[in-house]
Amino acid sequence: MKRNPVIPYVLIMVFGLALIFFLSVKGIGDAKEVAKEKEHPKQTETASSEKFDPESFAKKTCVTCHGNNLQGGAGPNLHGIGKKLSKDKIKDVLRNGTSGGMPAGLVEEDHIDEMADWVSKLK
């Protein structure tokens, strides 16, 4: 008894089409969820339950450019920067960045005052 050699290919094709159809329907549902989330973003539990700590934020974010102890690296030394720049200028740099490489928006707008105050007091 000879088997038809086309049958495995037809089965694979039917399975593939069914899989494409299923994933398309699933994607439509996911797209609706993503759209809802963009309209009403969820706040992370850590952001709402923890108080902002400028020092730990600096250890996570700033050390890449300003060095392990914020003594300078690709970015300038932040110790004593409060003597050179006013708090308003520090806030402006945190908010808008600089043309020298400091990116804008690293610190959330809600925490710029706290971060600028902490940076200005580094000795």
SS (H, E, C) 46-104: HHHHCCCCHHHHHHHHCHHHHCCCCCCCCCCCCCCHHHHCCHHHHHHHHHHCCCCCCCC
66 assigned ligand-binding residue: yes
Torsion of CA 77, 78, 81, 86, to 10 degrees: 130
Q: What is the pLDDT of residue 84?
A: 86
* pTM flag (> 0.75): no
65 assigned ligand-binding residue: yes
Q: What is the pLDDT of residue 17?
A: 97
Q: Which residues of the chain have pLDDT under 50?
A: 45-49
The whole-chain average pLDDT of the chain stands at: 83
Which residue's entry shows tokens 């200005």? Answer: 120
Q: Has domain 46-120 been given CATH number 1.10.760.10?
A: yes
115 assigned ligand-binding residue: no
Q: Where are the domains of the chain?
A: 1-42, 46-120
- Phi-psi bin for 53: left (phi > 0), alpha (psi -120 to 50), beta? beta
79 assigned ligand-binding residue: no
pLDDT in tens, 82-94: 888 888 888 888 8
Q: What is the pLDDT of residue 46?
A: 47
Q: What is the pLDDT of residue 42?
A: 62
Q: What is the pLDDT of residue 37?
A: 79
- Phi-psi bin for 106: left (phi > 0), alpha (psi -120 to 50), beta? alpha
